[in-house]
Structure formats: structure tokens, C-alpha cells
Amino acid sequence: MKEFDIIARYFKERSHVRRDVQLGIGDDCAVVNVPQNQSLAVTTDTLVGGVHFPNDTPPRAIAHKAVAVNLSDLAAMGAEPAWISLSLSMPDVDEHWLDEFSLGLQELTEYYSVQLIGGDTVKGPLSITLTAQGFVPKDQALTRAKAKPGDWLYVTGTLGDAGLGLDMLQGRMDVPPKHRNFVANRLNYPTPRVLVGTVLRRIASSCIDVSDGLIADVQHILNASHCGAVLQVDKLPLSEAMRDSVLAEQGIRYALTAGDDYELLFTVSEEQKGNLDLAMATASVSVTCIGQLNGVQGKLELRDGKERYAFEGKGYQHFS
């Protein structure tokens, strides 16, 4: 099959259609329109087979994750997703693989009303690069840089599940049978917190998604905002699956260092706490306060209750 046939059969015909797309797949460029008074948020993430996912990951999961990772970046800016471009590098044309992959892409893009507007298919080692674009009202984008001392540190959902899922699938950890699906899905089918991100626009002072691991991602906020923080390990939200699978200390380790959870980590000023509670009252995802920022620039202190919590460990680093 030729490149043009692949694009037409598996991607163009299965794409969700948006009215702001003037020209989609099939020309030298896509042509799209951004609404007035909206800025455009743009993000790119690459997933390499054997590095970011085991090569035997189901193609539907690879597609889901590639989209989710990018939508999660949009969510962390408070942006509403609109379009994605896909670059798919694969060693050969496996029609079954392509069929499953494009269905995974279709599921998530339809759910979030995102249109695939273009891309490239090339022969090479398995690798997926997605660029996602979304809208955020002018001057309302959430960044990492505007947290202030005194702000409270929050996180959505539960932490560490994806890391536990990876260890389970690779035979390093035992998980009780009733939780296995849950942790595998947390790894392979993460949920980008798109709606929460848009709700946080007027409430949060800073926001990031947890992709490198909590410690690393808190540190990104601290560095960008020139703050420090105290993080309460006794407050870390752990899933029932996590609590049933590992001892408390190991659960904390997963929550602090495992990447790939794609929860939102954000800060809220004392004055906005009430608004956060109101806004989240009807949301389908929980938020948990896990600490507070202070003025000790760049320094992250871990505590268990009132005691200092000694911990050596970092988040995910690509080239360390």
C-alpha cells in the first residue's frame, strides 16, 4: 500500500470533522481558523516504541496514549483541544496494526471533538509524534510561572497507578486480580483532564500535568515561579488498587516518582480555595490538597504529618 492510500483509508475517512477546518488531510497543508479573542496553544510529544511504551502494547492503546498525552498538555494550559497532526513512523505496513491504531485515534478524537488535520507516514522504526492545538481565551492560559508563596498545591485523581501498571505488565509487581484492569488502563488509556483544565483557568495560579513524576513536576512549577514548597506525603491520593497492592512506603514512592499519570498538578491561592471547591463539586474527578508553597526558592521539602520525610528519588529523565 502506498502512503496516500494509508492516509486516505485509515485516517482521513475516520476523522472527526470540525467546522473551523477549512481544509483537512490531503493538500500540502491543512488550513484552519482560530476564533477571535482566543490564543492558540500548541504542543508536540513523541512516543518511541521500546522507549515510551513496550513494543507489544496494543496499537489501540498506543494511539490513545499519544493523543491523551498531548491533550493533557493542552489541559494543563486550560486550553480546549481542537486539532491534531500525526506523524507515524513504522517499519512496514501492517494493516491490522493500522486498523487498530486508527480506531484508537478515532475514539479519543471523537470524544473530545478533535479533528486530525494532517501529518506524515514514513518508513522507519515505530514512533508516533503528535502535535495538538487548542484554544484558550486571550491572557487566560495557565502557566507554570505564576504560583505565589502561600498558594496551595493540588492534584487531580490518584498518583502512581501508571507506574504500578507498567511494573505489573512487565512482571516486576503483583497486583490483586480485581485491580489488574484498572492499573493496566491507567497506563495504557490515560484520561487527559481536559474539562478540569478549562475550569481551572480563572481559579489556579499555575498548572502542569504529571508526566515526569510528581517530584519532578512540582519542581518545574517551583523553578518557573521562584517558590519553594512543603509536600505532605501523608496526603498523596493513592488508589484502592495501589493501597491493596503495595505497602504504604512503596505507594508513596510510586506517587512521587512514577511518570505517565497525566493528572493535573496546580496551585490555588487562599482566596480562590472556595471557588475551587465550588467548581469541583460537580466534577467527576477528585482533587486533593497535597501541600503549600513558600518563599524558599526552588526548594521542595517532603513531610509526613509534621515530620520531615527522607526520600531519595527523582522523576523520569530522558537522557540521564
Name the residue nearer to its own copies (CB basis): 52 or 64: 52
- Is 211 assigned a ligand-binding role in the annotation? yes
Q: Work out how close the CB of 245 gets to its own copies at its nearest, in angstroms, rounded to a whole number.
A: 29
Name the residue nearer to its own copies (CB basis): 44 or 113: 44
- Is 277 assigned a ligand-binding role in the annotation? no
Q: 3-class DSSP state for residue 315?
A: coil
Q: Work out how close the CB of 209 gets to its own copies at its nearest, in angstroms, rounded to a whole number.
A: 6
- Is 160 assigned a ligand-binding role in the annotation? no
Alpha-carbon dihedral sign for residues 92, 94, 99, 101: negative
Q: For Cα atoms 226, 300, 165, give the angle at the middle one, nearest 5 degrees.
A: 120
Burial of residue 194 (number of CB atoms within 10 Å: 0-12, 13-18, 19+): buried
Q: 3-class DSSP state for residue 167?
A: helix
Name the residue nearer to its own copies (CB basis): 50 or 176: 50
Report CA-CA distances (Å) from 223 to 76, 102, 158, 260, 300: 17, 39, 24, 21, 10
Enumerate binding residues for its own copies (CB under 8 A): 1-3, 6, 22-23, 26-34, 36, 39-48, 50-52, 73-74, 76-77, 79, 83, 85-87, 89, 92-93, 117-125, 127, 129, 131, 133-134, 136, 138, 141, 143-145, 207-209, 224, 317-320
Name the residue nearer to its own copies (CB basis): 80 or 238: 80
Name the residue nearer to its own copies (CB basis): 83 or 254: 83
- Is 167 assigned a ligand-binding role in the annotation? no
Q: Work out how close the CB of 72 gets to its own copies at its nearest, in angstroms, rounded to a whole number.
A: 8
- Is 144 assigned a ligand-binding role in the annotation? yes
Nearest of 49, 256, 254 to residue 168 by alpha carbon: 254
- Is 44 assigned a ligand-binding role in the annotation? yes
Q: Work out how close the CB of 281 gets to its own copies at its nearest, in angstroms, rounded to a whole number.
A: 26
Q: Work out how close the CB of 64 gets to its own copies at its nearest, in angstroms, rounded to a whole number.
A: 18
Alpha-carbon dihedral sign for residues 152, 246, 55, 124: positive
Q: Work out how close the CB of 172 gets to its own copies at its nearest, in angstroms, rounded to a whole number.
A: 21
- Is 18 assigned a ligand-binding role in the annotation? no
Q: Work out how close the CB of 82 gets to its own copies at its nearest, in angstroms, rounded to a whole number.
A: 10
| Strand residue runs (E) in 126-245 | 127-137, 152-156, 204-209, 228-232
- Is 20 assigned a ligand-binding role in the annotation? no
**Is the Cβ–Cβ distance between 147 and 267 less than 8 Å?**
yes
Name the residue nearer to its own copies (CB basis): 83 or 152: 83
Q: How many residues does the chain have?
A: 320
- Is 73 assigned a ligand-binding role in the annotation? yes
End-to-end alpha carbon distance in the chain = 40
Nearest of 198, 185, 196 to residue 287 by alpha carbon: 196
**What is the C-alpha separation between 243 and 3, in angstroms, rounded?**
48
**What is the C-alpha separation between 200 and 198, in angstroms, rounded?**
5
What torsion do the CA atoms of 76, 79, 81, 82 make, to the nearest 10 degrees? -150
**Is the Cβ–Cβ distance between 233 and 256 less than 8 Å?**
yes
- Is 212 assigned a ligand-binding role in the annotation? yes
Name the residue nearer to its own copies (CB basis): 167 or 209: 209
Name the residue nearer to its own copies (CB basis): 15 or 232: 15
Kind of pairing between the strands at 300-304 and 307-308:
antiparallel
Q: Work out how close the CB of 161 gets to its own copies at its nearest, in angstroms, rounded to a whole number.
A: 21
Residues annotated within a binding site for ATP: 119-120, 144, 211
Residues annotated within a binding site: 28, 43-45, 52, 73, 119-120, 144, 209, 211-212, 260, 316
Residues annotated within a binding site for Mg(2+): 28, 43-45, 73, 120, 209, 212
